A = this chain, B = another copy of it.
Amino acid sequence: MKRWGRKHLLGLEGMSAEEINFILDEAVSFREISERPLKKVPTLRGKSVVMLFFEPSTRTRASFELAAKRLSADTVSIASSSSSVVKGETLLDTARNLEAMKVDIIVMRHSMPGAPHMLARHLRAAVINAGDGAHEHPTQGLLDLLTIRDHFGSFDGLCVGIVGDIAHSRVARSNILGLTSLGAEVIVCGPPTLIPRDIDRMGVQVTTHLDELLPRVDALNILRIQLERQGRSLFPSLREYSRIWGVNNAVLDKADKKLLIMHPGPVNRGVELAPEVADGEHSVILDQVTNGVAVRMALLYHLSGVAEMERADEAAA
């Protein structure tokens, strides 16, 4: 595979192992740019990238902005509230307006599942899903996959445990879709109320006990408990959650080997993850962040049309 044929990045659903590995390979070569003393290349000079965030975000937006700026793209950031009911038509009008300003890529976060897909059906500009409700968060999925591949070399025979609120997590969904496409085994683990009934249709196994999970996995992806959302209703209490599903060193002793520790951030220290584990030697939480910039640079490059142009130039030469 020498090129990436997709026009948008809406989700990892339906993405082949070849496609995923292609973009991870590209991310590795872009990652090197951020390690240089001068972290800047002219690749996307003259391209316009808009961050259209209908939900608050600090890290993901900063990561996309840095990725775009290190590629010399122009960026404009728009933060809107989705608290007022936003009709689909209005959202589309907003996006069409940005397109009429000759924007090349719209990076979008929205509380409504499928919102970026709707835009993609109507726009010529490329759309990147930066999180759509509880549906998908494909760049997070890709950066998690890259972090796992960095460590284990391949996904053959690998088993990844995902721990926490599976039902409401777009991170969990994108990870499951990517990992199963790449041939890894996935086991989800969490309170019964936070695991969708038909999750096995996604090709994963289910357990509600960390004790059962730990001996079977190579890596743990521990989800953030969204204190502001379900904290009070879907499980008895935070203390209870932490006691049963929180990951600390004592819990990890039940594994046969040292597990790779991942978390999409920000960590609720002492709730889903003990500080000793978050900062421990098997934690790759900050590597995930570093890989996030790299994955986003690779995607911005391949969705901007510049890769295409460069190929055409080479073919003509």
A interface residues (Cβ-Cβ under 8 A, vs B): 34-40, 45-48, 50, 58-59, 62-63, 65-66, 69-70, 74, 76, 78, 80, 87, 89-90, 93-94, 96-103, 265-267, 269, 275, 286-287, 289-290, 292-293, 305, 309
On chain B, the residues within 8 Å of A292 by CB distance are 101
On chain B, the residues within 8 Å of A70 by CB distance are 46, 48, 74
On chain B, the residues within 8 Å of A76 by CB distance are 62, 65-66, 69
On chain B, the residues within 8 Å of A289 by CB distance are 97, 100-101
On chain B, the residues within 8 Å of A269 by CB distance are 87, 89-90, 93
Chain B nearest CB: distance from A143 CB in Å? 11
Q: Is the CB of A46 within 8 A of B40?
A: yes
Q: Is the CB of A69 within 8 A of B65?
A: no
CA distance A39 to B46 in the complex (A): 4
**Beyond A39-B48, A101-B290, 7 additional pairs, beta carbon < 8 A:** A35-B102, A37-B309, A40-B45, A48-B70, A66-B74, A87-B269, A90-B269
Chain B nearest CB: distance from A45 CB in Å? 6
On chain B, the residues within 8 Å of A287 by CB distance are 100
Q: Is the CB of A62 within 8 A of B38?
A: no
CA distance A258 to B227 in the complex (A): 56
Q: Which of B39, B59, B265, B309 contacts A102 (CB under 8 A)?
A: B39
Can you show 11 pairs from A to B with CB atoms below 8 A apart? A34-B102, A35-B102, A38-B46, A38-B47, A39-B102, A40-B46, A48-B69, A58-B80, A69-B74, A90-B269, A97-B286
Chain B nearest CB: distance from A225 CB in Å? 14
Q: Is the CB of A74 within 8 A of B40?
A: yes
On chain B, the residues within 8 Å of A293 by CB distance are 101-102
Closest B residue by C-beta to A58: B78
Q: Is the CB of B93 within 8 A of A78?
A: no
Among A34, A50, A63, A76, find the residue whose CB has the most chain B CB atoms closer than 10 A: A76
